[in-house]
Chain A
Amino acid sequence: MLNAAGLAFVVAGSRWHQPDGQVMFVFILTMAAAEVAVGLALVLQIYHRFKSIDVDALSEMRG
């Protein structure tokens, strides 16, 4: 979905032949990379703690 937003930005930027769309796309890429890194680190934590990445196994919260 981030890629779709980036596509919209680049298309808008190329419509008026301005680099602003690609600048916004660079920022979106940066944000996506940071998010993927943090998300995958969380997945690894879940795997090491619960020995599976099934989300239904993470039911320690009560009440």
Chain B
Amino acid sequence: MEPTFYIAGAVAIVSTIVMLTRLNLVHALLHLIVSLLAVAVDFFVLGAPFAAALEAIVYAGAIMVLFLFVVMMLNIGRHAAEIERQWLTPGIWTGPVILACILIIEVVYLARGASPGLGTGATGPKEVGIALFGPYMIGVELASMLLLAGLVGTYHLGFRKTKQSEIQRDTDTHEGRADTGGDLVFAGTDRSARTT
């Protein structure tokens, strides 16, 4: 078939294997995002541009971003200081950048119309939309009910009624924040080394 398909598939497999071996959680999530974008390129080569756009926008752009939000919000571990110092080195970006450059070269090559899978056999958004509004209408309704259930459940699980004393303590004192001691400037640094 297309060599671009195999290259994007190799990028997806390699980045997934690399993701599985990472010790740092954020590194693993970044490699997973690269893997999802490689699969999106695969969809594009196969003649499914709508699925490619959805994969990039929803899966890599919303779901993985949600993961990253939670991981970075929880600021896991007492050793987050050292981990953050490692994050700031430019060396960690070489892996995802190289893999993403391969994908960019492929997309540019495909956009110049070199792939036969695009114009002739591609099922674009129009066909998918007709199918969704036609035979699969019940599935769409069920998906909307699922999303509503997920929304209500997530809101209920995420709702924390902070006591008034907690709010007072958070806003007025520095001891309110357990991890940083209220110090937003030095948040994330190694607090054992600071004397002031």
Contacts and interface: CB of A to CB of B under 8 A. Distances in A.
Interface of A: 3, 6-7, 10-11, 13-14, 17-23, 25-27, 29-38, 40-45, 47-48, 53
Contacts of B128: 19, 22-23, 26
B147 A36 contact: no
Interface in B128-165: 128, 130-132, 136, 139, 143, 146-147, 149-151, 153-154, 157-158, 160
Interface of B: 36, 39, 42-43, 46-48, 50-51, 54-55, 58-59, 62-63, 66-67, 70, 74, 76, 117, 121, 123, 127-128, 130-132, 136, 139, 143, 146-147, 149-151, 153-154, 157-158, 160
Contacts, number: 111
A27 B139 contact: yes
B54 A38 contact: no
State the main secondary structure of chain B at its contact with A: helix
A51 B50 CA distance: 42
A33 B139 contact: no
Given A19-B128, A34-B147, A53-B76, A41 B158 contact: yes
Nearest to A21: B48
